């Protein structure tokens, strides 16, 4: 038995059969009634006809005998008359018996009656089928001498029997008709239903439906099969979708009663999977998730209503509800706990520095915007502190990035520990940090914060087996006084920081309008610098380099000067950083090189054998074409390579030493001399000294200043000279020789060359040419002013 | 003649005997013995009260059997009559017919003699679908049961006396007495007479039913005489008719006309009573008279006389006629199917040595008419109807 078999009274067959039977019974009843009436009339008419026919036949018998009597001429013969009468009576009797009639012949004249024919059964019986048990027909034959009153009595038994047979036959025929009709229709119904039931059964068993049926229902069966197939496929698809969709689904009505739920729904709310959608617990979950659904519209909506529902177990469920328009709703339920965590992580990553886990520039700016908004509303003051670590680059370069990173993390921790919770300590990248102080009452509070920060950062830090000590420079800007918006404030803080850094390590500076003016000036210079080369505003001055032993000029150092049309001569200290920042340094450097080569060519042609030194910036070193530029320059102006010296500083090769060394080696191969400028101020790594193809070391002027008075400086200089000479044919040039005693000291120490005001200030080429022509010598006791 | 010659002769006889034995089956086959016979049963009171009539009918049946078989049987089937003695007892007859039908499974049966015995076997035949020609019964009551298989051959007993009553009327007789013994045939005759008498202006002055056993005919005769009846009608059979005739003689009353059923139609009536038989009226179905001009009647008469050396009664003729009618019915039905034969008997209009045969829907014979016979000078003469009379009726007024 099929689990979902319908009771018989709900089957199509029964629904068809019952009306048929009811109709059949009613129809049969009416038919029998009608048939009874017709049959009764028919039988009655038949009986009447038979009776009349019988009577007429009897009269005919009598007539025949009368005729015979008269034909024989014996109608008055009593004997013949009696004979004829008896003959007639016997004939009537025979006829009556044969035709089941009873005949009473009453001889009126003789006053005698003769009962002829069969005996009448049950003459006083009840009517049957509304038929009388007898019917009589009486007629008087009145022919003299014959006067008979004849009563023909018909026994209706035979007609009642006939009526019985007809009625039974009609009843049976009607019953048979109804039954046959019912059976036929029932059969057809069953036959019609069979393929449909089979199709449904097949579909329920997930089998391809077979629709074989009788021809009349073939098309119907096929159509139903196809339709059911499509419906089932669609249904299965929907079912599978419903079951396999990654979200919980629940269809419910306006009373929050669940109508259909998928497995995922039960899993999300930790309900038994076997629970029916209509369970009260489903309603409870829905009410808990959606609250009182006053806002649920009955109209179908294209946009869902979304909720985030926090579960007691800490999970977050996102619920979306669509109204289907018939007071029913479909809701999707998604556990977004992990997604929210991921979003939070992304948001955190986007707003925080990965290394220190401190807010980054983006978050800092965002918070600054918020604070500024509040400030504009409340008039509350606050401040921004930009912090830059001192010598962090050195730590990074010398101890590695890992150590640098640890240092940064420690600095960040110290920043956080120093400021208030309401403050924001952020890292912008590299060694740049910033602190946002949302509320201060006096600017001095910011100064105290800056001091605490510098002090905190400056505390020694044991790291990587050593103790690091760094410092910090801090630029401070105050809002709303120093700027209207975040960008301006941050720029001003940067300016202040720059100023602090310029002031030396471990300093902090407030942004001032004076600071701002300087920045504005730098900006203007930077703008003018771009046109300076084209407008031929640069000039090259030369400072002689003197052989200390002979006192003669053996070379010059080319020094760039900017002859600004409005500002006059501008110091390289001012514009070289600008050139470096703007990328113009390469073009300017090449121009200086070629200008120097032109000048050197002139001096060589004039018979002065000099070596011209040109400063090379790091930007030039890292250009691939420096060698080519030099090569072309010396070729273009026919400059002996050994007459050209390129001065480099440590900073030019620290960024990429390998590449720089390779470039210098190629320049040396050209025959060009390489001088290391400002030696002693940086790391002065001996390793580099070993690797670099140097021909000259220029001792920084800071060692020369007190060489006569400080023994240590003298010792350093002496050792440098000894080291240089020990490394090979490397000349030593002392920079910043301004006094005779220095000159003498250096000479005594064995220093090869000197450069400084003591010998000559930087001067134009013409002036230098004059000195050369005058055969300048230190021994003349005068210097070129 | 030696031993050797005797042996040779013996061998020749043996060979001849063997040859005869070999030819016997062939000759039997040629004679139709290989075809199953139509077996027809009938019981007759060969002993007992009705032995005389029964004997006559037995002879007639056997005559018909031999004649029909001589003609090659019916539809190629030989006919075999199976005649049993019912000792003139209805219950014996009923048992015999039961055996005919259920045990012997005969093909057909004829009706026995006398109406009471026929009435006893009729339901058996009817119930079993055996069409039965009642060759020895005339009682009206037999055909009042709605039998479908019982067919009358004689005019109903109720009509037996009509001709006689007409003769009485013509003779100016006014009063009649009617006596009958109590059996269905005799009562039918008496009741018929009583019923039809008024039609002839005859007054039944005495009507008396006597017991079948030991009826007091003398007393009845006296009562009739005392009723001033001019004529006496007796319903009864052979013995009763003889007894009444003797009673009349004994009391010395000679009515104007004396009628007795059955008995006076038999030669034995005359043989028993001698001259006293003369004057007695009776009803006959058939008479051994040439003037009847019925087909085959004379041939039957001659054959019967030739074979049995006595005149047949209408009972014998009826038995022979029954064979004729059944033969025609089988031929008409095309076989021995009893249903078809029954249908043929119910619908056919046939000729026999006793006249036309046809029955109405109740099985009552409707084509026969009775003959009134009267003993004249030791001869039985037909006195009614006038068209067939061989002598005028004698009624002493």
Mean pLDDT on A712-717: 88
**In this complex, do A97 and B169 lie within 8 Å of one another by their Cβ atoms?**
no
Q: What is the pLDDT of residues A401-434, one digit of tens each?
A: 888 888 899 999 999 998 888 899 999 888 899 9
Q: What is the pLDDT of residue B31?
A: 46
Mean pLDDT on A621-634: 83
**In this complex, do B166 and A82 lie within 8 Å of one another by their Cβ atoms?**
yes
Mean pLDDT on A5-11: 64
- Per-residue pLDDT at B111 exceeds 80: yes
Q: What angle, rounded to 10 degrees, do the helices at A585-605 and A626-636 form?
A: 30
**In this complex, do B162 and A119 lie within 8 Å of one another by their Cβ atoms?**
no
User: Measured between CB atoms, which of A90, A97, A118 is closest to B162?
Assistant: A90
Q: What is the pLDDT of residue B95?
A: 97
The verdict on A105 touching B (C-beta cutoff 8 Å) is: no
Beginning with the edge strand found earlier in the chain, give each strand of the sheet holding B132-134 in spatial order: B79-85, B38-44, B108-110, B132-134, B150-152
Mean pLDDT on A228-235: 78
Contacts of B385 in chain A (CB under 8 A): none
Report the C-alpha gap between A714 and A742 in whole angstroms.
10
- Per-residue pLDDT at B27 exceeds 50: no
User: Measured between CB atoms, which of A79, A89, A94 is closest to B170?
Assistant: A79
Chain A, 68 to 87: residues with Cβ < 8 Å from chain B are 79, 82-83, 85-86
Q: What is the pLDDT of residue A298?
A: 67
Mean pLDDT on A386-396: 84
- Per-residue pLDDT at B84 exceeds 70: yes
Q: Which of A23-27, A461-465, A513-517, A607-611 is least confident?
A: A513-517
Q: What is the pLDDT of residue A119?
A: 63
Q: What is the pLDDT of residue B29?
A: 42
Position A52 confidence tier, pLDDT thresholds 50, 70, 90? confident
The SS3 assignment for A643 reads helix
* Averaged pLDDT score across all residues of chain B: 90
Specify whether the CB–CB gap between B135 and B318 falls below 8 A: yes
Q: What is the pLDDT of residue A126?
A: 54
* DSSP characters over A569-624: EE-HHHHHHHHHHHTTHHHHHHHHHHHHHHHHHHHHHTT---EEEEE--HHHHTST
Contacts of B162 in chain A (CB under 8 A): 86, 90
Pick from B141, B163, B199, B369 the residue to mutate for testing the A interface (most A CBs within 10 Å): B199
Report the C-alpha gap between B138 and A208 in whole angstroms.
86
Report the C-alpha gap between A109 and A101 in whole angstroms.
24
- Per-residue pLDDT at B365 exceeds 60: yes
* DSSP characters over A370-433: HHHHHHHHH--EEEEEEEEEETHHHHHHHH-HHHHHHHHHHHHHHHHHHS-TTSEEEEEETTEE
Q: Which of A184-193, A264-273, B260-269 is least confident?
A: A184-193
Report the C-alpha gap between B66 and B304 in whole angstroms.
12
Percentage of residues of chain A with pLDDT beyond 70: 89
The verdict on A421 touching B (C-beta cutoff 8 Å) is: no
> pLDDT: is A29 or B89 the higher one?
B89
Please compute, for residue A191, the number of CA atoms within 13 A of its CA located in the half-sphere on the CB side. Answer: 12
Pairing of the two strands B79-85 and B108-110: unpaired
- Per-residue pLDDT at A108 exceeds 70: yes
Q: What is the pLDDT of residue A782?
A: 47
B231 alpha carbon, distance to own chain's centre: 27
Mean pLDDT on A689-718: 87
Q: What is the pLDDT of residue A6?
A: 58
Report the C-alpha gap between A680 and A662 in whole angstroms.
23
Size of interface A-B (CB pairs under 8 A): 42
Position A515 confidence tier, pLDDT thresholds 50, 70, 90? low
> pLDDT: is B217 or A170 the higher one?
B217
Q: What is the pLDDT of residue A596?
A: 93
Q: What is the pLDDT of residues B266-296, one digit of tens each?
A: 999 999 999 999 999 999 999 998 777 888 9
Pick from A79, A82, A109 the residue to mutate for testing the B interface (most B CBs within 10 Å): A82
- Per-residue pLDDT at B1 exceeds 60: no
Report the C-alpha gap between A617 and A584 in whole angstroms.
11
Position A5 confidence tier, pLDDT thresholds 50, 70, 90? low
Q: What is the pLDDT of residue B32?
A: 45
Position B2 confidence tier, pLDDT thresholds 50, 70, 90? very low
Q: What is the pLDDT of residue B236?
A: 94
Q: What is the pLDDT of residue B97?
A: 97
User: Measured between CB atoms, which of A82, A94, A119 is closest to B366?
Assistant: A94
Q: Which of A392-396, A609-613, B82-86, B371-375 is least confident?
A: A392-396
Specify whether the CB–CB gap between A551 and A539 falls below 8 A: no
Instruction: Give the distance from residue B181's alpha carbon to the nearest chain A alpha carbon, in angstroms.
Output: 24
Mean pLDDT on A233-254: 84
Report the C-alpha gap between B101 and B8 in whole angstroms.
55
- Per-residue pLDDT at B86 exceeds 70: yes
The tokens for B142 are 């037999």
Q: What is the pLDDT of residues A737-749, one digit of tens each?
A: 998 899 988 988 9
User: Measured between CB atoms, which of B166, B201, B362 is closest to A97?
Assistant: B362
Mean pLDDT on A679-692: 77
Mean pLDDT on A185-192: 72
**In this complex, do A90 and B166 lie within 8 Å of one another by their Cβ atoms?**
no
- Per-residue pLDDT at A714 exceeds 50: yes
Report the C-alpha gap between A371 and A436 in whole angstroms.
9
Q: What is the pLDDT of residue A773?
A: 83
User: Measured between CB atoms, which of B170, B196, B360 is closest to A98?
Assistant: B360
User: Measured between CB atoms, which of B144, B159, B361 is closest to A90?
Assistant: B159
Q: What is the pLDDT of residues A556-573, one digit of tens each?
A: 999 998 888 888 888 888
Specify whether the CB–CB gap between B114 and B88 falls below 8 A: yes
Contacts of residue A714, defined as CB under 8 A and 6 or more positions apart, other chains included, come to A707, A708, A745, A749
Pairing of the two strands A553-564 and A611-615: parallel
Specify whether the CB–CB gap between A119 and A83 falls below 8 A: no
Q: What angle, rounded to 10 degrees, do the helices at B297-308 and B51-70 form?
A: 110
The verdict on B198 touching A (C-beta cutoff 8 Å) is: yes
Specify whether the CB–CB gap between B53 and B238 falls below 8 A: yes
pTM: 0.50
Question: Which whole-number Å values give the CA distances from B263 to A622, A752, B140, B234, in the listed order?
Answer: 177, 205, 19, 10
Position A280 confidence tier, pLDDT thresholds 50, 70, 90? confident
Chain B, 107 to 166: residues with Cβ < 8 Å from chain A are 144, 159, 162, 165-166
- Per-residue pLDDT at A128 exceeds 80: no
Nearest CA in chain A to B360: A98
């Amino acid at each position: 038995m099929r689990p979902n078999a319908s009771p018989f009274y709900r089957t199509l067959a029964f629904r068809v059969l019952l009306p048929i039977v009811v109709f059949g019974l009613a129809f049969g009843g009416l038919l029998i009634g009608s048939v009874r009436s017709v049959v009764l009339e028919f039988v009655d008419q038949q009986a009447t006809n038979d009776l009349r026919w019988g009577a007429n036949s009897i009269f005919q018998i009598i007539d025949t005998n009368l005729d015979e009597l008269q034909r024989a001429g014996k109608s008055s013969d009593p004997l013949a008359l009696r004979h004829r009468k008896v003959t007639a009576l016997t004939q009537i009797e025979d006829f009556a018996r044969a035709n089941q009639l009873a005949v009473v012949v009453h001889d009126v004249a003789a006053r005698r009656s003769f009962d002829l024919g069969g005996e009448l059964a049950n003459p006083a019986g009840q009517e049957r089928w509304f038929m009388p048990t007898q019917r009589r027909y009486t007629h008087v034959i009145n022919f003299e001498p014959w006067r008979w009153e004849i009563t023909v009595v018909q026994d209706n038994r035979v007609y009642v029997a006939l009526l019985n047979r007809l009625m039974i036959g009609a009843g049976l025929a009607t019953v048979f008709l109804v039954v046959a009709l019912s059976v036929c229709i029932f059969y057809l119904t069953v036959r019609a239903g069979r393929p449909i039931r089979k199709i449904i059964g097949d579909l329920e068993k997930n089998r391809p439906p077979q629709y074989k049926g009788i021809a009349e229902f073939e098309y119907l069966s096929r159509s139903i099969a196809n339709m059911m197939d499509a419906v089932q496929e669609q249904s299965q698809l929907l079912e599978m979708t419903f079951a396999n969709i990654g979200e919980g689904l629940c269809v419910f009505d306006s009373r929050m009663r669940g109508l259909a739920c998928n497995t995922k729904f039960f899993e999300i709310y930790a309900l038994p999977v076997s629970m029916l959608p209509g369970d009260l617990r489903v309603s409870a979950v829905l009410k808990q998730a959606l609250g009182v659904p006053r806002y649920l519209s009955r109209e179908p909506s294209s946009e869902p209503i979304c909720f985030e529902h926090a579960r007691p177990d800490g999970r977050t469920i996102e619920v979306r509800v669509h109204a289907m328009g018939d007071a029913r709703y479909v809701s999707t339920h998604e556990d977004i706990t992990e997604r929210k965590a991921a979003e939070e992580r992304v948001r955190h990553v986007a707003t925080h520095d990965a290394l220190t886990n401190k807010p980054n520039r983006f978050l800092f700016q965002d918070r600054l915007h918020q604070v500024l908004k509040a400030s504009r509303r409340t008039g509350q003051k606050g401040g921004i502190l930009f912090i830059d670590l001192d010598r962090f680059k050195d730590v990074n370069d010398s101890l590695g990035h890992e150590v640098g990173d640890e240092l940064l993390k420690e600095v960040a921790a110290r920043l956080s520990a120093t400021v208030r919770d309401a403050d924001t300590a952020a890292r912008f990248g590299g060694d740049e940090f910033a602190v946002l102080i949302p509320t201060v009452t006096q600017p001095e509070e910011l100064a105290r914060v800056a001091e605490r920060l510098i002090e905190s950062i400056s505390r020694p830090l044991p790291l990587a087996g050593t103790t690091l000590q760094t410092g910090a420079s801090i630029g401070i800007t105050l809002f709303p006084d120093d700027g209207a918006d975040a960008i301006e404030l941050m720029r001003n803080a940067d300016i202040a920081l720059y100023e602090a850094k310029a002031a030396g390590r471990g300093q902090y500076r407030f942004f001032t309008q004076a600071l701002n003016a300087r920045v504005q000036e730098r900006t203007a210079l930077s703008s003018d610098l771009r046109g300076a080369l084209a407008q031929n505003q640069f000039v090259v001055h030369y400072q002689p380099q003197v052989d200390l032993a002979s006192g003669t000029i053996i070379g010059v150092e080319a020094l760039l000067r900017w002859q600004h049309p409005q500002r006059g001569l501008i110091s390289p200290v001012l514009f070289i950083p600008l050139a470096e920042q703007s990328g113009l340094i390469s073009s300017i450097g090449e121009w200086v090189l070629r200008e120097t080569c032109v000048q050197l060519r002139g001096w060589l042609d004039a018979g002065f054998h000099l070596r011209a030194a040109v400063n090379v910036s790091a930007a030039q070193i890292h250009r691939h074409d420096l060698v080519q530029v030099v090569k072309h320059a010396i070729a273009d102006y026919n400059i002996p390579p050994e007459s050209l010296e390129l001065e480099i500083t440590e900073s030019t090769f620290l960024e990429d030493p390998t590449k720089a060394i390779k470039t210098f080696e190629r320049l040396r191969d050209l025959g060009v001399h390489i001088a290391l400028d400002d030696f002693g101020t940086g790391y002065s790594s001996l390793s580099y000294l070993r690797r670099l193809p140097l021909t000259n070391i220029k001792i920084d002027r800071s060692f020369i200043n007190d060489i006569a008075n400080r023994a240590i400086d003298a010792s350093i200089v002496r050792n440098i000279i000894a080291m240089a000479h020990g490394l090979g044919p490397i000349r030593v040039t002392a920079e910043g020789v301004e006094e005779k005693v220095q000159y003498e000291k250096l000479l005594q120490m064995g220093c090869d060359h000197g450069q400084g005001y003591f010998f000559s200030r930087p001067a134009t080429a013409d002036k230098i040419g004059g000195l050369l022509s005058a055969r300048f010598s230190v021994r003349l006791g005068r210097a070129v002013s | 003649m030696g031993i050797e010659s005797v042996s040779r002769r013996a061998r020749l006889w043996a060979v001849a005997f063997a040859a005869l034995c070999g030819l016997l089956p062939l000759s039997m086959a040629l004679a139709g013995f290989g075809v199953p016979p139509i077996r027809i049963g009938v019981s007759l009171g060969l002993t007992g009260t009705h032995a005389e009539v029964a004997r006559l009918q037995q002879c007639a049946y056997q005559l018909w059997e031999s004649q029909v078989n001589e003609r090659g049987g019916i539809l190629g089937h030989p006919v075999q009559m199976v005649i049993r003695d019912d000792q003139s007892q209805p219950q014996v007859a009923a048992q015999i017919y039961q055996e005919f039908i259920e045990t012997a499974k005969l093909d057909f049966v004829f009706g026995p003699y006398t109406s009471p015995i026929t009435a006893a076997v009729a339901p058996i035949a009817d119930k079993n679908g055996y069409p039965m020609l009642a060759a020895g019964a005339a009682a009206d009551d037999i055909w009042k049961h709605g039998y479908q298989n019982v067919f009358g051959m004689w005019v109903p007993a109720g009509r037996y006396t009509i001709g006689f009553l007409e003769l009485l009327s013509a003779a100016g007789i006014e009063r009649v007495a009617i006596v009958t013994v109590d059996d269905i045939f005799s009562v039918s005759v008496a009741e018929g007479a009583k019923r039809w008498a008024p039609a002839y202006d005859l007054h039944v002055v005495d009507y008396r039913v006597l017991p079948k056993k030991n009826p007091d005919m003398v007393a009845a005769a006296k009562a009739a005489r005392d009723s001033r009846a001019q004529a006496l009608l007796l319903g009864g059979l052979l013995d009763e008719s003889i007894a009444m005739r003797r009673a009349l003689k004994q009391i010395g009353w000679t009515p104007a006309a004396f009628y007795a059923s059955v008995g006076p139609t038999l030669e034995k009536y005359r043989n028993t009573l001698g001259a006293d038989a003369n004057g007695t009226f009776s009803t006959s179905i058939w008479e051994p008279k040439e003037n009847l001009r019925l087909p085959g009647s004379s041939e039957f008469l001659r054959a019967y006389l030739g074979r049995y050396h006595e005149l047949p009664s209408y009972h014998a003729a009826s038995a022979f006629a029954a064979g004729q009618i059944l033969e025609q019915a089988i031929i008409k039905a095309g076989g021995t199917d009893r249903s078809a034969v029954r249908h043929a008997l119910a619908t056919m209009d046939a000729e026999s040595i006793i006249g036309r045969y046809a029955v109405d829907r109740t099985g009552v014979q409707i084509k026969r008419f009775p003959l009134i016979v009267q003993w004249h000078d030791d001869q039985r003469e037909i006195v009614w109807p006038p068209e067939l009379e061989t002598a005028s009726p004698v009624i002493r007024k």
